[in-house]
Structure 1
Amino acid sequence: MPYVTVKMLEGRTDEQKKALVEKVTAAVTETTGAPAEAVTIFIEEMSKNHLAVAGVRKSDL
């Protein structure tokens, strides 16, 4: 049972998230041989003030 966690900034549409989980599921089944029914995907969204690169929060850009 493969588990995949995708962490990303909030703001994607439901359609984008649907396409993401479909394509990630397809990639996992293709590469591991696991059936799609066994693939679990977690999407963890965070606000821009919870992510910083090089000491600068994304919300400050």
Structure 2
Amino acid sequence: MPTYHIEMMEGRTVEQKRKLAEEITRVSVEILGGSPESVDILITDVKRENWATGGKLWLDRQ
């Protein structure tokens, strides 16, 4: 079964991450089959100072 690697800017609550993990797992099992225990999800919080888009750090965006 799949392993998902999710990188997102920090700031989400534990409850939001919990719901995300539950829904990704549910949809994976629905579409791919298998058991929920076979779905792995790794969430990495990235600080705004460590993420840039279009040459600008998100820390500097207003």
| RMSD between superposed Cα atoms in Å | 0.8
In structure 1, the residue matched to 2:32 is: 32
How far apart, in 2, do the equivalents of 1:2 and 1:55 lie?
32
In structure 1, the residue matched to 2:11 is: 11
Unaligned runs of 5+ in 1: none
- TM-score normalised to structure 2 length: 0.92
In structure 1, the residue matched to 2:58 is: 58
Offset at residue 21 of structure 1 (A):
0.3
Unaligned runs of 5+ in 2: none
Identity %: 36
Offset at residue 49 of structure 1 (A):
0.9
Structure 2 counterpart SS, 1:27: helix
Segments of 4+ moved more than 2 angstroms: none
How far apart, in 2, do the equivalents of 1:42 and 1:12 lie?
14
How far apart, in 1, do the equivalents of 2:36 and 2:27 lie?
10
How far apart, in 1, do the equivalents of 2:5 and 2:31 lie?
17
How many matched pairs?
A: 61
CA distances 1:7-32 after superposition (whole Å, capped 9, x unpaired): 10001001101100000101111111
